[in-house]
A and B are shown apart, each in its own frame.
Chain A
Amino acid sequence: MTDASLPPVQNADVPPARALSRRILPYAMLSPAVIVTLAIVFFPMVQTAWMSLHDYVLFRPNDFEWVGLGNFKAALQDEVFWISLRHTIIWMTTTIPAQLLLGLVTALLLNQPFPWRPVARALIIIPWALPSVVIALMWVWIYDSNYGIANEFLLRLGLIQRAIPWLADPDTALAAIILTLTWQGFPFFAVMILAGLQSIPRSYYEAASIDGASTWNQFRYITLPGISGVMMTAVLLRMIWVANSFDVIFVMTGGGPGYATYTLPLYAFVKARTNLDFGYGSAIAVLFTLLLMVVVVFYLKRTGKAVS
């Protein structure tokens, strides 16, 4: 963001009333948005923190007993919590690099001149625009153990001997979901990185090829440094979004089989939704948020510089 504020007008002729209104005006213009977000975002957030300190089960609405950090202690001793945490880490550390790599390759290709480039560029983003429920639906169909095209395809190629129930087998369920999420998210990287690629001046490449630099060296010393900033921002943004998007998992497997595809946000949601245990669910949500905060702080440090 550029600094687009007006130069401060320090004019002695301005009557005090107008000077005052000028100072208040920006706040007045901001107040509707700020008040509404306070009411529907910050107030609920504080409420989550408050609920997490209580024993609060929805079907016993009159019980709202203060338990202090009891829910958090229980979470740390809860086996499912640790399973979910482990899955969250696996899920983030495989999905995001996979999306980044595929996105980078796609962006590099889209940056080359070829006749149908505009069409390719428009179509590549489609997964990004689809509702997560629809994404889940079509991948469940693809992974179907009896009639799914994934099995059909791999059987024909001779890569597997018999049909695999991808989503029903605890050993493959998480991997199958990771592939789905990679498919959903890589276009975002492609688009971001492409924008970065196009901001690198052509003259750099011209100079490099006059000096006889190889394609690989041009990539290594011009392209990569040129897009590292965008890639960093994209990774951080995506980490936050991927962490948020448990809806695909929720529809595809609901966390199952067993706890094979549980992740922390999913666990918090299921706890509250199925068991109506809002106290414990809130505690897990708060713990997850605290972990995510580390990423958020990194991101804000980067954009914070750009804002001012």
Chain B
Amino acid sequence: MALHKPSLGKRLLTVDLPMLAILTFTLGPYLWMFLTSISRESTLFTEGPSIWNATIENYTRLFNTVGFGDNLLDSLIVASGTVLVGLSLSVTAAYAFSRFNFPGKRLLMLQFLLINMFPLVLLILPLFVLMRVLGLLDTHLALIIANSTIAIPFSIWMMVSYMNGIPRSLDEAAMTDGCTRMQALVRVVLPLCLPGIIATGIYIFITSWNEYLYALTLGGRNVRTITVAVQTLIGEYEVQWGLLTAGGIVGAMPATVLFLLVQKRLISGLTQGAVKG
């Protein structure tokens, strides 16, 4: 903001230091959790977490005794399934919103925006009843359907904003050359907004991976995602904080890594609408 270059000392005091303090507050809890997870359970309460006697015993126990591997697989299936459903249903819808003018467009778009506004608790009860009637409780499909309630409207909004960024003259050129609408979409528009689609897919993956309430309500003995597994750990191994925090680290790892990979594109997509609006 300031145009004149402030001196180094002043900058350190007014920018670097406060930023460092905020970052410490932001990352501190996470690092503390990590530090606890690599501490030996036997000495955790006597000596406190420390980096000097680092061990991976908590992690091996997590996979060998507790069976975290299955939970990771369940989460992977649910999250990938949701990405597939969310993206495939929203590509054509986003194209229609981005390229056509038709009666009811505004209303339909607002409808998709509105879905995200409704409290989850309003949906969770009837979805439970619905899945019970359909016999889908405790299946991956039930969780994919439930997560899609969030994923579909979100990916439509994101993809409309990416597609709006691609000049319409390109589809028109393709159609002059004899492509149909669908061919123009598949051959011209989709490849161009591929980065946007990937970012949207990753965001859906993260939110489904992190989702907890649906997984708790609609899952069960067969399908237990990582978030539910972590919560179950809290109940079962109440004071074994080394194991618990190891579970937390493993549960958060995929989403955190993916997020750091795509954060730039994702954030520009997310904030675009807000800045203009």
* B-binding residues in A (CB < 8 A): 1-6, 8, 23, 25-27, 29-30, 32-34, 36-37, 40-41, 43-45, 47-48, 51, 102, 105-106, 108-112, 114, 120, 122-134, 136-142, 144, 146-147, 149, 183, 187, 191-192, 195-197, 199, 202, 205-206, 209, 215, 218-219, 223, 229-230, 233-234, 237, 240, 243-244, 246-247, 250-251, 265, 268-269, 272-273, 278, 281-282, 285-286, 288-289, 292, 296, 299-300, 302-308
Interface size on B, residues (CB 8 A): 109
A138 in contact with B30 (CB, 8 Å): yes
A141 in contact with B244 (CB, 8 Å): yes
Instruction: Kindly list 17 other residue pairs between chains A and B, CB separation below 8 angstroms, not including A122-B260, A244-B119.
Output: A1-B160, A4-B163, A34-B108, A34-B111, A40-B149, A47-B129, A51-B126, A105-B22, A106-B19, A109-B15, A131-B226, A133-B210, A138-B30, A138-B33, A138-B245, A138-B248, A244-B120
Q: Is B90 an interface residue (CB 8 A)?
A: yes
A131 in contact with B274 (CB, 8 Å): no
A109 in contact with B19 (CB, 8 Å): yes
B residues in contact with A199, CB < 8 Å: 275
Identify which of B25, B117, B258 contacts A299 (C-beta below 8 A).
B117
A residues in contact with B109, CB < 8 Å: 307
A130 in contact with B11 (CB, 8 Å): no
A residues in contact with B59, CB < 8 Å: none
Q: Is B255 an interface residue (CB 8 A)?
A: yes
Q: How far is the CA of A237 from the CA of B273 in the complex (A)?
A: 12
B98 in contact with A4 (CB, 8 Å): yes
Within 8 A of A (CB), among B96-135: 96-102, 105-106, 108-130
A124 in contact with B23 (CB, 8 Å): yes
Identify which of A132, A137, A268 contacts B244 (C-beta below 8 A).
A137
A133 in contact with B245 (CB, 8 Å): no
Q: Is B153 an interface residue (CB 8 A)?
A: yes
A278 in contact with B125 (CB, 8 Å): yes
Q: How far is the CA of A25 from the CA of B137 in the complex (A)?
A: 37
A110 in contact with B130 (CB, 8 Å): no
Q: What's the least CB distance linking B257 to chain A, in Å? A: 9
Q: What's the least CB distance linking B18 to chain A, in Å? A: 6
B residues in contact with A40, CB < 8 Å: 127, 145-146, 148-149
Identify which of B98, B124, B252 contacts A131 (C-beta below 8 A).
B252
B residues in contact with A219, CB < 8 Å: 1
A residues in contact with B181, CB < 8 Å: 25
Q: What's the least CB distance linking A104 to chain B, in Å? A: 12
B275 in contact with A36 (CB, 8 Å): no
Identify which of B27, B112, B115, B125 contacts A51 (C-beta below 8 A).
B125
| Interface-side segment among B50-58, B190-198, B227-235 | B227-235
